[in-house]
């Protein structure tokens, strides 16, 4: 063998370093969760080289083969059990990749054979890598298998891809490349969150459109990314142009946000600040929780991704636990972003229309909570909740969110603010109304109900061929029974609960 390759350097992605540690520590079975088989093939080949291991591959179509020579093993190993037995008898140091092996893990004899293999490899120098797009580990194997969630490619890996594409284009002479260093960085940033092959496709498409690659192609790449996120069905890009000035009241919350508007980015890291984790907004329905989530993204100029808890648990698209892992991974790939988990309680048992199986709900929340606690990627989570009864106490524990704010019904001053905002939004001059009087008449109204009252007065005025008037809005207020009147007890309970556990959003 030639000189040993240099060891993994500091710029090596963390999952590769983890993998190398496991290989060095002689872990027998490692499960790599990823869609990117080609990328992993290249990574594993390098790791094998660096550690002086013979590389083998198994798939249902090819059986067990030595990667270098493509020579099949002596016996027929297309059967998973035979393949595992044959791996057990490999000599010396090996790295064996099993492709799509999750397919065979519902077979008792395969599971048993894998377990036995795991035990027998403990004394050898062979590591078996299961590479699959989804994680399915039968309970018997849980203790024997170590899992690596392969993250999406880093900016550095994408930059390398772009450089490779340059090289090819230069040689072919058919397309033009007009990129400064900054342009290249902008393109790579736009592609962040895609897998390597998705990024390659996106770049190829950008080139094919006009035979050139330049900074204008950022738009093409972003559109591709939007498509990819949409396909996953769990996260949704939420374009938002609401600024915080569209939110009435909530002064304390606004001050808190304002103090952190520059907290993402290199300068803040250099200063020694941690990445902001996120906020939990609890409170009365219709008082601006969702609106605030949207405004934060616009104000901080970060894309807004909405995570639909209902869909996570719907059972329509794979298992709930798998779904939440996938969603977290995509969000991290798209960082820096605001991840909006609207009505987080929706997935919880007893909240109606959530998971019926409390075990599943607990595991999904466990995954989410662990991530909230440990995440290092700049994903700012804004979770909202209308109800507290079902919220697990762990969610409120320190370290999950930076702060928990309680959003109560608006005070008189806040209601006046909300009237002004919504009048102006409908191109009416707030000064021509007695806003203080309207605010007094709207005692107990939520922001949403105030907006509704204005809209319904607008309808009346329009139908009558009249202009929107003070009296018109007052009439519409008088005809509304606000939710707070029918929910007196619930709201009192919510306030009571919030007093000890949350910070007030209003001044």
Ligand X SMILES: Nc1ncnc2c1ncn2[C@@H]1O[C@H](COP(=O)(O)OP(=O)(O)O)[C@@H](O)[C@H]1O
Nearer to ligand X, 113 or 457 (CB): 457
Nearest to 441 by CA among 483, 480, 477: 477
Q: What share of the chain is helix, strand, coil (3-state, %, to 5)?
A: 50, 15, 35
Beta pairing, strands 54-59 & 63-66: antiparallel
The sheet with strand 235-237 has its strands ordered as: 235-237, 304-308, 337-342, 379-385, 278-283, 403-407, 503-504
Q: Please give the Cα distance from 112 to 114 (Å, whole number).
A: 5
Place of tokens 């009435």: 248
Q: How far is the CB of 434 from ligand X (least distance, A)?
A: 19
Nearer to ligand X, 97 or 483 (CB): 483
Q: How far is the CB of 303 from ligand X (least distance, A)?
A: 19
Stretch of residues binding ligand X (CB under 6 A), selected from 161-169, 203-211, 333-341, 446-454? 446-454
Verify binding: residue 290, Mg ion, rule CB under 5 A: yes
Verify binding: residue 287, ligand X, rule CB under 6 A: yes
Verify binding: residue 240, Mg ion, rule CB under 5 A: no
Peptide bond into 273 cis (omega under 30): no
Q: Please give the Cα distance from 302 to 300 (Å, whole number).
A: 5
Stretch of residues binding ligand X (CB under 6 A), selected from 32-40, 136-144, 255-263, 282-290? 282-290
Measured from each CB, the residue nearest to Mg ion is 290
Of 73, 86, 126, 285, which lies in the binding site for ligand X, with binding defined by CB under 6 A?
A: 285
Q: Please give the Cα distance from 221 to 63 (Å, whole number).
A: 38
Of 213, 341, 451, 477, which lies in the binding site for ligand X, with binding defined by CB under 6 A?
A: 451
Per-residue three-class SS string for 206-261: HHHHHCEEEHHHHHHHHHHHHHHHHHHCCEEECCCCCCHHHCCCCHHHHHHHHHCC
Q: How far is the CB of 322 from ligand X (least distance, A)?
A: 28
Q: Please give the Cα distance from 30 to 19 (Å, whole number).
A: 8
Nearer to ligand X, 117 or 423 (CB): 423
Verify binding: residue 249, ligand X, rule CB under 6 A: yes
Of 418, 468, 473, 483, which lies in the binding site for ligand X, with binding defined by CB under 6 A?
A: 418
Stretch of residues binding ligand X (CB under 6 A), selected from 41-49, 287-295, 349-357, 453-461? 287-295
Nearer to Mg ion, 77 or 290 (CB): 290
Q: How far is the CB of 484 from Mg ion (least distance, A)?
A: 16
Verify binding: residue 482, ligand X, rule CB under 6 A: no
3-state secondary structure of 53: coil
Other C-beta atoms within 10 Å of 174: how many? 8
Q: How far is the CB of 15 from ligand X (least distance, A)?
A: 37
* Stretch 365-404: interaction string toward ligand X, x if CB under 6 A: -------------------x--------------------
Q: How far is the CB of 386 from ligand X (least distance, A)?
A: 6
Q: Please give the Cα distance from 217 to 222 (Å, whole number).
A: 9
Measured from each CB, the residue nearest to ligand X is 447
Q: Site residues (CB under 6 A) for ligand X?
A: 247-249, 285-291, 384, 418, 421, 447-448, 451
Q: Site residues (CB under 5 A) for Mg ion?
A: 289-290
């Amino acid at each position: 063998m030639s000189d040993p390759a240099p060891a993994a350097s500091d710029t090596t992605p963390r999952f590769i370093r983890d993998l190398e540690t496991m290989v060095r520590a002689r872990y027998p079975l490692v499960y790599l969760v990823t869609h990117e088989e080609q990328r992993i093939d290249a990574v594993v080949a390098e790791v094998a080289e660096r550690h002086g291991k013979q590389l083998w591959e198994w798939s249902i179509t090819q059986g067990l083969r030595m990667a270098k020579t493509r020579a099949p093993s002596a016996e027929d190993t297309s059967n998973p059990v035979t393949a595992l037995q044959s791996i057990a008898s490999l000599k010396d140091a090996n790295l064996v990749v099993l492709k799509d092996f999750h397919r065979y893990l519902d077979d008792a004899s395969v599971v048993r054979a894998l377990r036995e293999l795991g035990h027998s490899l403990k004394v050898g120098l062979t590591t078996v890598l299961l590479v699959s797009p989804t994680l399915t580990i039968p309970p018997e194997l849980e203790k024997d298998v170590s899992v690596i969630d392969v993250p999406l490619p880093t900016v550095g890996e994408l930059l390398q891809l772009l450089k490779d594409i340059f090289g090819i284009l230069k040689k072919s002479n058919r397309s033009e490349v007009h990129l400064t260093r900054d342009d290249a960085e902008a393109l790579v940033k736009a592609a962040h969150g895609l897998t390597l092959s998705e990024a390659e496709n996106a770049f190829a498409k950008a080139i094919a459109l006009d035979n050139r690659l330049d900074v204008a192609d950022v738009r093409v790449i972003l559109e591709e990314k939007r498509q990819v996120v949409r396909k996953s069905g769990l996260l949704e890009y939420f374009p938002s142009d609401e600024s915080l000035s569209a939110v009435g009241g909530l002064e304390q919350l606004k001050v808190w946000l304002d103090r952190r508007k520059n907290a993402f980015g290199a300068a803040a890291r250099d200063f020694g600040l941690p990445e902001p984790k996120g906020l939990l907004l609890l409170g009365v329905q219709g008082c601006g929780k969702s609106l605030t989530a949207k405004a934060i993204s616009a104000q901080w100029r970060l894309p807004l991704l909405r995570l639909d808890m209902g869909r996570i648990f719907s059972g329509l698209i794979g298992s709930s636990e798998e779904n939440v892992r996938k969603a977290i991974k995509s969000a991290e790939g798209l960082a820096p972003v605001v991840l909006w988990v609207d009505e987080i309680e929706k997935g919880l048992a007893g909240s109606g229309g959530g998971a019926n199986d409390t075990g599943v709900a607990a595991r999904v929340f466990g995954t989410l909570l662990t991530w909230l606690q440990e995440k290092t990627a700049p994903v700012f989570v804004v979770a909202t909740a209308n109800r507290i009864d079902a919220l697990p106490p762990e969610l409120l524990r320190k370290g999950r969110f930076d702060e928990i704010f309680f959003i109560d019904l608006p005070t008189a001053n806040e209601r006046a603010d909300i009237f002004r905002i919504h009048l102006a939004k409908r191109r009416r001059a707030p000064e021509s109304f007695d806003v203080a009087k309207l605010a007094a008449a709207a005692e107990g109204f939520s922001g949403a109900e105030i907006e509704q009252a204005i809209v319904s007065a607008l309808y009346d005025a329009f139908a009558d061929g009249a202009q929107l008037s003070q009296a018109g809005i007052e009439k519409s207020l008088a005809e509304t029974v606000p939710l707070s009147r029918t929910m007196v007890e619930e709201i009192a309970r919510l306030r009571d609960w919030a007093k000890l556990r949350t910070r007030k959003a209003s001044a």
